[in-house]
Amino acid sequence: MSKIKPLLPALIAGAIGGAIIVSFISLISPAFLNSPVQSLSPTSFKTNQEISLSPQEKLVIDAVDLANPAVISIVITKDVPIFERYSSGDPFGDLFGDEVFPFFGPFQFNIPQQRQRGTEKQEVGGGSGFLVSADGFAVTNRHVVDDDKASYTAFTSDGKKHEVEVIAKDPVLDVAIVKLKDRGPYSFLTLGDSDKIKVGQTAIAIGNALGEFKNTVSVGVVSGLYRSIVAGNGFGESENLDQVIQTDAAINPGNSGGPLLNLAGQVIGVNVAIASDSQNIGFALPIDTVKPVIESVRTQGKIIRPYLGVRYTTITAALKEKNKLPVDYGVLVTRGETVNDLAVIPGSPADKAGIMENDIILEVDGVRLDDQNSLATIIRNKSVGQTVTLKILHRGDRKTLTAKLTAAPE
């Protein structure tokens, strides 16, 4: 199984150039190196010849020109301990005295030690983001700005430095909303419609590649839709990412939080993770999933998420067979691993609607729950106070219930 890891803030690199040179030289074959030099006549090529761009290239260039001013490179700074080396001297003092080693004098041990001598601010990583309003609100990944002990600054494409305030971090999605403290107005991106994207359409990624190469552009296609993955950061922490977009546009550590664009320069996703043992397999959160987060922060000052209040397991063909279920789609309402992880949260909208443990939720507002339509994503895209219609199986009988969504408990 491929290892999926978030695009963690890229550590500041120092030896990239050498690696590029070595890779380049290795592509030159010995046959070419030993071949005689061929002279070029003046007619072998034309100078000052205009290169005509294809319609596709023009669209990409226009999209990048439109988006670049609104893409930010985020720099992470933190107080880092300073250590100095010192020697502990002679641990035995004059135990042996000069008479033991009369020629060399007293016997000495110099044991190197380290001790902390204060701290200093250092750049420890970098990520990306993009502006979504003229007054400086921007989207990035939660894991880019998750360290409360770090400080963050942003660079826009014109090279200007801006102080950054972290406004809200989503506990469910790997998304955070930050704000540039300087007064605008700023250029900002238009949010597209990720529900309408197609596999094979052009995808453009822009970001702070490796935390060093600001506003790096890469172009590919949408490789897949509705992927569900588990992303780990290499430190034993992981997160479930649901219904994400797969792309082969090259994205790297440091691209975290940068936009995935269509040819109109509209945001269709937020770059979030890569498959570490593969080539050009990256993932982005669909922008339609992120839109409610942006709107909530803009209007409420914090992330307010709609809430149904059930624990569940997605039904698959294998689960149907194992548990002798009557359907191979929907979600089975079931308790968690401990006795306190109740299947239906008391007092929740699901509880008030009459949903019970072992019920199967088949549809929400007429949308069948399957591998392309998860319950979490559907509820996430609703609004607090909205009433949803649920089709369920209760002890073999099909029922229709309604539930009024409330704000998720903090």
Please identify every residue annotated as catalytic: 143, 174, 256
By DSSP bridging, strand 406-407 and strand 360-364 are: unpaired
Measure Cα distances from 175 to 77, 138, 166, 193, 256 in Å. Answer: 20, 11, 11, 18, 10
How many residues are listed for the chain in this entry? 410
Tally: H helices and E strands in the chain: 7, 21
> d(Cα 69, Cα 272) in Å, to the nearest integer?
21
Q: Which residues are paired to 179 by β-bridges?
A: 137, 165
The helix/strand/coil state of 294 is: helix
Query: Both tokens of residue 216?
Result: 């790096």
Measure Cα distances from 268 to 6, 331, 378, 384 in Å. Answer: 18, 28, 18, 24
Cβ atoms 94, 105 nearer than 8 A = no
The helix/strand/coil state of 194 is: helix
Name every residue whose Cβ is closer than 8 Å to that of residue 211 and which is 6 or more positions away in sequence. Answer: 9, 10, 11, 12, 13, 75, 125, 126, 127, 253, 254
Query: 3-state DSSP: the chain helix, strand, coil percent, rounded to 5?
Result: 15, 40, 45
CA angle 34, 39, 43 (to 5 degrees): 145
